[in-house]
Amino acid sequence: MPIAGLAFLVAEDHETQRSILVRILKDLGAKHIHEASDGHGALSVIADPTRSVDIVISDLDMPGMDGMQFIRELGKVGARISIILASALERKLLGSVALMTEAYGIRLLGVIEKPLTPDKLMPLIVLHQPAQAQPDRLTSPRFTLQEIVAGLHNDEFEPFLQPKIALATGQVKGAEALARWRNPRHGIVAPYAFIKPLEDNGLIDELTWVMLRKAAALCSGWRAAGMDMTVSVNLSLKSLGDLHLADLVTEQVRSQNLEPRHIILEVTESAATIDIGETLENLARLRMKGFGLSIDDYGTGYSSMQQLMRIAFTELKIDQSFVMNAAKESSGRIILESSLDMAHKLNITSVAEGVETQADWDLLRRLGCDVAQGYFIARPMGHAAYHEWVLNWNRLASLS
């Protein structure tokens, strides 16, 4: 994306340094630049609906709210913003701040030592991914709960499938089923438009059942056609409070002539307060029945997951924020490597999601990751397209 199309926010308490930075950005071609002298000011720019921000360039050491607190607050807001950190601090400290930033879910483009120069800034700015590459939450249609529920009752929801590939052999291990709403007016709608409203209103189970039933039916079909593949279904932590869940899930899967071991249930770390006893009981029972259990988004860090770790999970799915660009950035790489190491020690399958480039793929292979998933391999697709895709992939694999 040309730099003129990006909106910057410069957070720097030192007035002269701030104006130097603004001038550098202008010289580089930036047209939209906001300024703030501390974290509070920066947050209010971000909260202002009339001003958009793509990249924040923030000083770490500011009076009032410093850069670190600012990053934490930014993480809470959940804004899809990239950040470049600038500081006169020593390199080693900058490394830990980089780790912290990613742990708060903020996309860190890089850390630069002061003084800032165009040569240091430009390579980081080009790392920013334009908003279209990510689902755009702001401009997409918003739906009322009633519309979503009506869509569920009209059977408008279906799984899209994204392949999971064994890195060592290139074999298709299975697919993750990702919910899509085939909306009569808006076309294919992505999950962020309906998961949270359903969860917040205690209705997520309705979607879970649809996804489980349809994903199991598809997987049963693949297996009948001689394709040895599993299907992964996302399970909201909220559903795990219901003690009937394990039996209901098992019945659902068996009624499709499928074994529980062909299904992997992906459970996301979440900040939600959960009934820990019930959740542990459900997970233990699901595992006992033979389902695969995956820790989704691993590394994004909530303490509830630490307790759940006591259950025998079979798969560790490393969050895409640690996978994307791991080949380029050392900070993401540390978490990636330690996650792989842990999965290895626990003797469970490691899966990297968000594999977007050949470099990501090569690095993961080198680091001994088991399974890869991401746009580099394929985007999520409808079931017919997925079937075709697998046949084609296997054909190519048999040629090479």
Interaction partner, residue 195 (ligand C2E, Ca ion, none; CB < 5-8 Å by kind): ligand C2E
Of the listed pieces 6-14, 61-69, 200-208, 240-248, which binds ligand C2E according to CB under 6 A? 200-208
Relative to beta strand 157-166, strand 371-373 is antiparallel
> Smallest distance from the beta carbon of 235 to ligand C2E, in angstroms?
6
> Does 329 sit near ligand C2E (CB under 6 A)?
no
315 binds ligand C2E (CB under 6 A): no
- Contact characters 240-269, ligand C2E, x per CB under 6 A: --------------------------x-x-
Tell me which long-range contacts 249-258 makes (C-beta under 8 A, separation of at least 24).
249/212, 249/286, 249/291, 250/286, 250/289, 250/291, 252/209, 252/212, 252/213, 252/216, 253/212, 253/216, 256/213, 256/216, 256/217, 256/219, 256/220, 257/220, 258/216, 258/219, 258/220, 258/223
In the numeric block, which tokens belong to residue 132? Answer: 């279209």
Q: Residue 340 Cβ, how far from ligand C2E at the closest point, in Å?
A: 18
Min. distance of Cβ 297 from ligand C2E in angstroms?
Answer: 6
Q: Which is nearer to ligand C2E, 11 or 177 (CB)?
A: 177
Q: Which stretch binds ligand C2E (CB under 6 A): 13-21, 22-30, 201-209, 302-310?
A: 201-209
Q: How far is the CB of 178 from Ca ion (least distance, A)?
A: 7
- 82/268 with CB nearer ligand C2E: 268
C-alpha span between 346 and 241 (Å, rounded): 26
How far is the CA of 189 from the CAs of 5, 183, 184, 266, in angstroms? 26, 7, 10, 21
**Site membership for ligand C2E, residue 54 (CB under 6 A):** no
- Strand (E) or helix (H) holding 28: none
**CA–CA distance, 374 with 380 (Å, rounded to integer):** 9
CA max distance for the chain: 70
Binding string, residues 83-122; x marks residues near ligand C2E by CB under 6 A: ----------------------------------------
Is the peptide bond prior to 118 cis by the omega test (within 30 degrees of 0)?
A: no
Binder among 111, 172, 179, 371 for ligand C2E (CB under 6 A) = 179
Decide which of Ca ion, ligand C2E, none touches 343; Cβ closer than 5 to 8 Å per partner kind: none
Kindly tell me which of 110 and 380 has the beta carbon lying closer to ligand C2E.
380
Q: Which is nearer to ligand C2E, 26 or 379 (CB)?
A: 379
Question: Do residues 108 and 85 make contact, with C-beta atoms less than 8 angstroms apart?
Answer: yes
Least spacing, CB of residue 296 vs ligand C2E, in Å: 5
Regarding 151 and contact with ligand C2E (CB under 6 A), the answer is no
Q: Does 234 bind ligand C2E (CB under 6 A)?
A: yes
The C-alpha atoms of residue 351 and residue 167 are separated, in whole angstroms, by 10
| Cβ atoms 301, 103 nearer than 8 A | yes
Stretch near ligand C2E under the rule CB under 6 A, chosen from 5-13, 49-57, 342-350, 374-382: 374-382
- Strand order, beta sheet including 7-11: 32-36, 7-11, 55-59, 82-87, 107-113
191 binds, among Ca ion, ligand C2E, none (CB under 5 to 8 A by kind): ligand C2E
The CB-of-240 to ligand C2E minimum distance in angstroms stands at: 11
Whole-angstrom Cα distance, residue 246 to residue 289?
8
Closest of 396, 384, 354, 362 to residue 172, by C-alpha: 396
Q: Confirm or reject binding of residue 207 to ligand C2E (CB under 6 A).
A: yes
Round to whole Å and give the CA distance between 194 and 204: 9
Check binding of 297 to ligand C2E (CB under 6 A): yes
Place of tokens 């002269």: 16
Enumerate binding residues for Ca ion (CB under 5 A): 234, 266, 296-297
Q: Which C-beta is closer to ligand C2E: that of 211 or that of 308?
A: 211
